[in-house]
Amino acid sequence: MRHLMSPLDFTPEELDRLFDLANDIERNPSKYAHACDGRILATCFYEPSTRTRLSFESAMIRLGGRVIGFSDAASSSASKGESVSDTIRIISCYADICAMRHPKEGAPMVAAEKSKIPVINAGDGGHQHPTQTLTDLLTIRSLKGSLGNFTIGLCGDLKFGRTVHSLINALVRYDNIRFLFISPEELKCPDYITEMLRDKGISYREVIRLEDVMPELDLLYMTRVQKERFFNEEDYIRLKDFYILDTAKMELAGKDMLVLHPLPRVNEISVEVDADPRAAYFRQAQYGVYVRMALILTLLESASQNNPL
């Protein structure tokens, strides 16, 4: 049984095939409108989500399938003490594929080990968010033409941001990527990330001021400071508005630079930036539907054939 726990579960060659499928879905949606007729996706979300959950549901419905599930732990048997292992055993009787979000790192992996259907990790704590990473990679490839040969700045919460960690780990497999890490000292990229980059001989630099590096960037990946990851509300209040991308800062960037954001945003991107053609974050959300459609099709096909991609 093939699952998706990490973006590294797929080789770059497999990702190319997945992204080719996503781009074909984008160009020819009617071709796939009944690809999942009679199939059911279970969305098991143990913590709140809007974009990820609705994106999965939209993807399955656009493929002709149906959706069951729950949107928070309180509305599931987890509130009665049921384990993830038991929940997925039951879900396997009801659905053909499952997307699971959980606040505890590793919970979707526990589910995958007990599941009779493909399980997709839709985010586990501060650990992984692989389908967001697939969305980011598809967006970059579609809008920039390829993966590789660019400088990317990652700005904001680099300590707790699972989207940042997943994206860095995925991008290091491509050629000539240069990283600029833009954060306050308290939210710096974890040591295991920077040590990995040093071990691989991959160029990176850590800075505090966004203005200092804007002219160097091909891509700017903004993130919000996540209140839910802080133990101390005072620290959150002090750091939440540390970066605000506005039109003045955008004037410092190149004409082909793109701004990405996994969303939701709070104050870190001013709404005045939305009108800039370089603002790609809403297009990014649309690519998230296409890549999840492609992933659902790929994992269901793999499960039916019982062999790798």
pLDDT of residue 80: 64
Going along the chain from its start, the domains and CATH numbers come out as 7-128+288-305 (3.40.50.1370), 131-284 (3.40.50.1370)
Strand partners, 52: none
- Confidence band, pLDDT 50/70/90 cuts, at residue 172: very high
CA distances from 48 to 28, 123, 183, 229 (A): 32, 11, 26, 14
Average pLDDT rounded to a whole number, residues 151-155? 97
- Confidence band, pLDDT 50/70/90 cuts, at residue 185: confident
- In 3D space, the residue among 293, 287, 291 whose CA is nearest the CA of residue 36 turns out to be 293
**Any idea which of 61-65, 110-114, 206-210, 301-305 has the lowest mean pLDDT?**
301-305
**Strand (E) or helix (H) holding 299:** helix 281-305
CA atoms of 44 and 196, how far apart (whole Å): 33
Where residue 176 falls (left for φ over 0; alpha for ψ -120 to 50; beta otherwise) is left
- Is 39 exposed, middle or buried (CB count within 10 Å of its CB: 0-12, 13-18, 19+)? middle
CA atoms of 143 and 301, how far apart (whole Å): 28
Q: Answer yes or no: pTM beyond 0.85.
A: yes
Sign of CA dihedral 71, 76, 82, 86: negative
Mean pLDDT across the chain: 91
pLDDT of residue 306: 60
Longest dimension (CA), the chain: 55
pLDDT of residue 242: 78
pLDDT of residue 237: 59
Sign of CA dihedral 121, 124, 127, 132: positive
Q: CA angle, 175 as apex, 143 and 122 as ends, to 5°?
A: 60
Within 13 Å, how many C-alpha atoms sit on residue 55's CB side?
A: 25
pLDDT of 94-109, one tens digit each? 999 999 999 888 999 9
Q: Contact at 8 Å (CB) between 126 and 105?
A: yes
pLDDT of 253-299, one tens digit each? 999 999 999 998 888 999 999 999 999 999 999 999 999 999 999 99
pLDDT of residue 309: 46
CA atoms of 56 and 137, how far apart (whole Å): 17
**How far does CA 214 lie from the centroid of its chain?**
23
E strands, the chain, where?
A: 40-45, 66-70, 97-102, 119-124, 150-155, 177-182, 204-207, 219-222, 258-260
Active site residues: 51-52, 80, 101, 129
pLDDT of residue 257: 98
pLDDT of 126 higher than 70: no
**Any idea which of 28-32, 230-234, 251-255, 263-267 has the lowest mean pLDDT?**
230-234
**230 vs 177, more confident:** 177
CA distances from 164 to 157, 190, 234, 261 (A): 8, 11, 24, 10
